[in-house]
Structure 1
Amino acid sequence: MERRTYLVTAGIGASSLLAGCLSDDPSDTESDSAGSDGDDETDPDGDESGTESEPDPGPVIETYLEAAQAENPDAMAEVVHSASPLQGLLTDPEWEFESSGSVDLDALETEVVTADGSIADVRELEGAEFWFAESDLEAEIGDEEITLVRAELDGEESTGETGVYALVTEDDEWKVFWVGSEDEISENPEETFEAEIIDTDDDVVERIEWDVDAVDAPEGSDFETGDYARVHLTDSPGLEADLIRTESTVAGAEFEFYGEDEDEPSTSWAGTWANVQLDPAGDQIVVTAVRGDTETVVHREQYEPSD
């Protein structure tokens, strides 16, 4: 049996959508922990954008992340806009939600970066070009208020990761519509690349497919291939690990495969795969085996766009 996974990364919740497929795992369980709904509040210092005052966007983002940490997709769906593709993922029984970690949300800092947002602002966010290529956003949310909010963790909880949330009103309440990360990407990605390491013995990595679809496209759709790599892990591992991490160094996408027991090394990750988003200008896939406090890069391969 195969189960797909929608992963929200630790920290501010930038989404690695449709990340991978975990195969033949009989230990599927669902958390029934409940998240709480955030109440709309008013920010007396907020900028005006066609309303008397701007509601505080912090509660809806915090509620979303609290539910993510509780691995409760139903609670997350309650604060996600009905027109958002996230809604379909969170409510589809074929998808399982997993949180890759937890942080102290008391350290969450939010800042409105675009109070009076537009459809164009949403489309510019990471991943939006692919997901909304076939969507008529003007018809779906064009009459609603849109705001873009930067969220990050402060102090010791900081991960250096910043999320940009597109919040859209629905029935006069702010809802999460899309989440992207905010990274400063070099104009010359090759400058950040390290020497390639190829897993020639297939100890961990069997192969990498480049320019794959990020998701199984619905029948009759016109989805085009995106800037993603599919990392296939070997069926016959040459080592044990607590977890296997796959990441793209420029786009900043990441996916982790844990063993059956996080405290015991294993090869239960064998035969799995993950989709990892790539920067279209060039990127590098890095696969790391983690065992205890030791991290070993077992595969590092460069992505060169075909065009």
Structure 2
Amino acid sequence: MAPRTTRRRYLSGLAIAASASLGGCLGDAVENDDPDADGGDAPSNESGDGEQDSSDDDADDASGSPAATLRQYVEASAEADDPAAVGAYFHPVHPFHPDNLDADNAEEWLLNDDSVAEIETETVDRDVTLEAVLSAPVLQASGVERDAIADALEGERTAVVDVTVTDESGVTTEFSAATVTADGEWTILARALGASDDASDPSDEPADPSPFDARVVDEVTFYPDEDRARVHFVDSPVADSVTAAAETAYSSRSSSTPEAITYFDLSLDPAGDEVLVTATIDGETRPVHREQYPPSDRAVDDVTFDTDRDDALLDAVARVEFSGGQTGDRLAVASTVRGDETSVEPADTVTHLTVGIDPAGDEVVVTLTDGGETEEIHRERYHA
């Protein structure tokens, strides 16, 4: 059998826009026999996670276990040739379930070429709430109805499983998944990525992945009546120098002593402009903030950060609200430190996207692709 084109989607920033209608049933598509109990050679959990695969309370309500389902899903992603065999591990309302995923996208998103050397799972004591599930990037991007998720949770058993996957080259990826019973089987209702040290596929790497600990911009205030922007700096800027510029109006301000200033004022082009702030540390210069002008033409309306999510699949998230006026082929939101990405196609079909962030500090970058060209339209940093 000829090797498949490399697809690292289940190990990288998982994001898709599934526009198909939701429905169908799981039936007998998933076989949740625990691989630890069948004596086979498939990779298994040897971490002593304490999960009782077939002796949980009310075990007769659902076959298998949440951890076994996740192990089988990961193995199938690496070994299966039919994407429907992988998609069958997802709940019928999930965009990756065979009834919902377009055949043209199924192989790209569900099959993975990397051989799995080890899988560790741990079923954790964490609530599977409606809000937690709705925060999963794939469900957000695909527009799964809130009521459909609520119905999927109603009266069913739920569990959160933390998964660590190590491939044969030693690359390790961690993610969490919310599982729920459906028709007597454990299924995956939502999955959100955690950190990964995988950097073997440049197309999957987030922008500016290496550390850059600049702390510069607090906020940007626009004055449309004056076509002016004020870039406010944090109390104790961390940068050797900083520059704020209006890209169209060519207005710019710089300082090699940013700790001595509180703000920069910039003149803006009333026909349309962008404010770009760059910082330099130890001779390295990078963009640290970008916003569009005027406000009426902005694609990004607001970015909020939530780092108090004890009951969620993601410890911390950034929620990017869109104005509704954005157009283009694809809209993507990525976190450069944690390395998560969420996208939607086309761009005008979404009101907000959520991406996982590192609660210790991260950066959110929004890009818009149209006609084959990708443009960064917003960049914002979160400081703990």
Name which one, 1 or 2, has greater alpha-carbon Rg: 2
Q: TM-score of the superposition, structure 2-length normalised?
A: 0.42
Which is bigger in relative contact order (C-alpha 8 A, separation at least 6)?
1
